[in-house]
Structure 1
Amino acid sequence: MKVSRPVFQGLALAALALGALGTAASAAAADVAAGRAKSVQCAVCHGPQGIATLPEAPNLAGQNEIYLVKALNDFKSGVRTNEMMTMMVANLSEADIENLAAYYQSIEIVVKEPD
């Protein structure tokens, strides 16, 4: 069956929209307060407000929630490797990961000119 280009483009846009709705629904289900409580274990390296205290640790404050969920899941599955992160995510549930990601995304980043 041959599908015309406009129909194909419409189907592709519909699939994208449905995917975005699914992502928005899971993001809405995340609990920022629970993520903040869980982030205590992350604070040693990533700082209490998501600004890293160690030079080799990335800042997490304001980071995109979808990216953080993927990164944490990748560490948990072994797709990404880092000895410390592998240990830290080993016992996180999917809800913990979503809550942490929502918390770090919720931190407002303020950029100002240097003094």
Structure 2
Amino acid sequence: MKRIIFVAALASLPLVAGAQTPVPEKAATCVACHGEGGAKPIAPNYPVLAGQYASYLEQALKDYRAGVRKNAVMAPQAAALTDAEIRALAQYFERQPGPLYTPSIKTGAGAAR
């Protein structure tokens, strides 16, 4: 009986931050070109977002929004995003499994994602 109560109480607790990655509302727009989770773009010249560093994605989106990076598709998409939405999207796509190889920054050794 104690075990059942404990499990029920544990199940009612909120998830620990980072334990589950919530899908940002704006990610549905990205899926149209970059595929589910950003892992399978619809065209070979569209980048894979899944597993990419969040800092890179965040800077790229801000550069599209500012007009520093030029792309007829991405410019209007990024223009509609706030800094908080950009950050959420970047963090979401960083956590998605994908085919990218990203070397570990901490150890300097390569680490497959």
**1:52-74 deviation per Cα after TM superposition (whole angstroms, max 9, x unaligned):** 12222100000000000000000
Structure with the bigger percentage of helix: 1
Higher relative contact order structure (alpha carbons within 8 Å, sequence separation ≥ 6): 1
Please list every run of 5 or more consecutive structure 1 residues that lacks an aligned counterpart in the other structure: 1-27
Count of aligned positions: 80
- Deviating beyond 3 angstroms after TM superposition, the runs of 4 or more aligned structure 1 residues are none
C-alpha RMSD of matched pairs (Å): 1.9
TM-score if structure 1 supplies the norm length? 0.63
**1:66-97 deviation per Cα after TM superposition (whole angstroms, max 9, x unaligned):** 00000000000011000100011111000000
**Cα offset, 1:34, TM superposition:** 4.7
Identity %: 38
Q: Which residue of 87, 104, 108 corresponds with 2:93?
A: 104
**Is the partner of 2:47 in helix, strand or coil?**
coil
- Who is 1:65 aligned against? 54
What amino acid is aligned across from residue 26 of structure 2 in structure 1?
K
**1:13-34 deviation per Cα after TM superposition (whole angstroms, max 9, x unaligned):** xxxxxxxxxxxxxxx9xxx425
